[in-house]
A = this chain, B = another copy of it.
Amino acid sequence: MDLGVARNLKISQLRLISAIAEHGQIRLAADELAITQPAASRLLADTEQNLGAKLFERHPKGMVPTLIGRALTQRAHKLLVELRDLSRDLHELKSGEGGTATVGAVTGAAVGFVIPAINQLKATSPKADIHVNVEASEVLVRDLIGGKNDFVLARLPPDFNANEFELMPARTETVKLMVREDHPLARATEVSIGDLTHYEWVMQTHRAPIREAVDSAFLQARAELPTNIINTTSLLAMIAVLVSTSAIAPLASEVSDLLIGNRVGAKLSVLPVKRPIVLTPYYLLLVKGRQLSPIANRLRALVNAELNRGSRR
């Protein structure tokens, strides 16, 4: 991974940047770092030279971040939080604490299989510490490899080696284009993706599989991509936009089915597009050779059973 100018940064520099932004004075920041004011001044100057940018404007009564300084301060803060959490993780793991089951799933799989399995597990073990991550496959698989998820229901991104994983029965996921119930196109008998270019859209940003699947559908239809788009990952925001505008939102079919199904009954409709928009299949993935906690193993077995109950599509 190319870190650019950040490759030479030091944690002390991040701490200084963050402390100056917080206190507004380098003298106070120096105190926090337990160094003298001249040492802090030089450290800041060195940092600015390394980065090639002025981070703070100097004033008689202290310092104020520049625009770049604000951006850097925000990043520095995130980094420091991450470092603190790294220490905490380390401490907890050394103590033999921290036993949870963490399962990751793409949205459809979360709704269709993971939640039911968790509900079953909770029936017998109501106090089990279960965490559900609903994310894109790339994030899920990377986190699986990185040990953050115990197992995941996700697609296998192309640049990952399938041999590293145990894969369970495949599932195919499709995308439904949602609109509000009284949308101009809600009662259309059939629409082509190309007809939808000039509508408003609300969806995740680029690189989300759903977004790529939608972009791909436009390209395959040789149609222009939409440009009137609100970017958000929040389902809530999407629903709010859908019911108050003529926007279109692409959602996984399991999500769509949940929302407009009898149990929830949201007043949304699915556009009948000529060619279904299909996402690549997803799998229950585990890393070969990795041991799971007993609770994670039980949850995996329950998810597996849920997958096997439904017929293949």
Contacts and interface: CB of A to CB of B under 8 A. Distances in A.
Contacts of A76: 86
Q: Which 7 A-B pairs have the closest CB atoms?
A: A4-B87, A70-B147, A74-B146, A126-B228, A243-B263, A6-B83, A75-B86
Contacts of A94: 52-53, 68
A94 B4 CA distance: 14
A244 B65 contact: no
B147 A3 contact: no
A116 B79 CA distance: 34
Interface string A130-159: 111010000000110011100000000000
Contacts of A228: 122, 126-127
A80 interface: yes
Nearest to A232: B132
Given A82-B82, A146-B73, A147-B74, A244 B122 contact: no
A141 to B, nearest CB: 13
Interface residues of A, number: 93
Nearest to A7: B11
Contacts of A5: 87, 90-91
Nearest to A251: B236
Contact of A264 (B65, B70, B243): B243
9 contacts: A4-B90, A68-B93, A79-B79, A79-B86, A110-B240, A122-B200, A131-B232, A132-B232, A263-B267
Contacts of A35: none
A142 B289 CA distance: 40
Contacts of A236: 107, 110-111, 134, 235, 255, 258
Number of copies: 2
B3 A11 contact: yes
A230 interface: yes
Q: Which of A88, A91, A146, A245 has the most CB of B within 10 A?
A: A146
A258 B234 contact: no
Contact of A265 (B71, B118, B245, B267): B267
Contacts of A131: 231-232
A85 B75 contact: yes
B71 A244 contact: no
Given A72-B86, A89-B72, A115-B237, A180 B126 contact: no
A227 interface: yes
